[in-house]
Amino acid sequence: MNKDIECILFDLDGTFADTSKDMCDALNTILTEKKFINVCCNELKLHISKGAVGIIDYASKVNGRPIDSSSIRADFLQEYSINTFVHTKMVDGISKLLGYIKKNNIKWGIVTNKHSKYVNKILEGLTIARDVKYLVTGDMLKETKPNPEGLLKAIDMAEVTAENTVYIGDDERDILAGKNAGMLTVAADFGFVGPEKDILSWNADINITNPIDLIKILAL
């Protein structure tokens, strides 16, 4: 890889942290209250990148009948805001990648569509809030991914150039945002990626199956 890499930016959900169980539990709590069938957390994981509306749409399919997202979205998000960090954990291999990044004085940050009230709780829970110097959340933006606004904001904060920055994500929107920003893109085939998704079709610059793979590539 280019030795001039100055900054690595991460998507959050599925790429940096596995937030799926807490999101699933929050949804199932509300579904139970509303007398709907609960969803399988392993299956829901594959729909998290679509946001709250996509998550509720999946619940509708599980129940075989429409669930009005406007009627339970607020309750779901409120429940999730209370229990944001219960089972959430860093994705396996991310801590080793961060160790490599810090050892080599590479700047790093997180750019996510998720709102700050959830993100801040997650980073505090992971005890890395002070380490994330460059954080851009969905509520800081006019346009979220695949629009590059968040990524451009992050490199402005880090005072680095797009061509010397890597963006890693587990959804096609992440790769599109990275390309739109002029960055080197890395598709994370270990996040919330289902077998029906062909990550090769995203045309990322690099595809990895484990965060540690990126260490090997950076070291080349």
- How do residues 167-207 score in pLDDT, each as one tens digit? 999 999 999 999 999 999 999 998 888 766 789 999 999 99
Report pLDDT for 83: 97
Q: Which amino acid is at 216?
A: K
pTM of the full predicted structure? 0.95
Average pLDDT over residues 109-138: 97
Dihedral angle over CA of 86, 87, 90, 92, nearest 10: 170
CATH class of residue range 7-18+88-218: alpha beta
In the predicted model, is pLDDT for residue 159 greater than 80?
yes
pLDDT for the residue numbered 68 = 85
Could you tell me the residue ranges of all domains in the chain? 7-18+88-218, 20-82
Tell me the pLDDT tens digit for each residue of 9-18.
Answer: 999 999 999 9
Helix, strand, coil % in the chain, rounded to nearest 5 = 50, 15, 35
What architecture (CATH level 2) is domain 20-82? Orthogonal Bundle (1.10)
Give per-residue pLDDT as tens, 134-157.
999 999 999 999 999 999 999 999
Q: What is the mean pLDDT of residues 16-27?
A: 97
- Catalogue the active-site residues: 11
The answer for residues whose C-beta is within 8 angstroms of residue 208's C-beta and 6 or more apart is 168, 186, 187, 188, 189, 190, 214, 217
Please say if the pLDDT value at position 2 is more than 60. Answer: no
